[in-house]
A = this chain, B = another copy of it.
Amino acid sequence: MKYHLRIEVCLKPGHSDPEGETTAHLLKELGYKVEKVNVSKVYTVVLNAESREEAKVKAEEMCKRLLANPTKDHYVITVDEK
């Protein structure tokens, strides 16, 4: 069965976010009253799995092995049936 995984990876609080800082700087230069910008990434993965539970377990593994850096990243996984 096909599952749609939505995996959002963002920095844990306290870690520097250079892309967010640059974006905040550019938005301020354009005249916007911006205090802070954080940038995170969303992976939408179409995965074949036997069950929703298996899909969730695989998504956790993918985060630990490839998509997130456990030292500095936090991730949120959502699983939907196609």
Which A residues are within 8 Å of any B CB, using their own CB?
2, 8, 10, 20, 23-24, 26-27, 30, 32-49, 58, 61-62, 65-67
Q: Determine how close the nearest CB of chain B comes to the CB of A66; give it in whole angstroms.
A: 6
**A13 → chain B closest CB, angstroms:** 12
Contact of A8 among B26, B42, B67 (CB under 8 A): B42
Set of chain B residues within 8 Å of A35, measured between Cβ atoms? 2, 46-48
Report the minimum CB–CB distance from A9 to chain B (whole Å): 10
Number of copies of this protein chain within its complex: 2
Give, as a whole number of angstroms, the nearest-CB distance from A17 to chain B.
10
How far, in whole Å, are A52 and B60 apart by their CA atoms in the complex? 36
Instruction: Give chain B residues whose Cβ lies under 8 Å from the Cβ of A43.
Output: 20, 23, 37-39
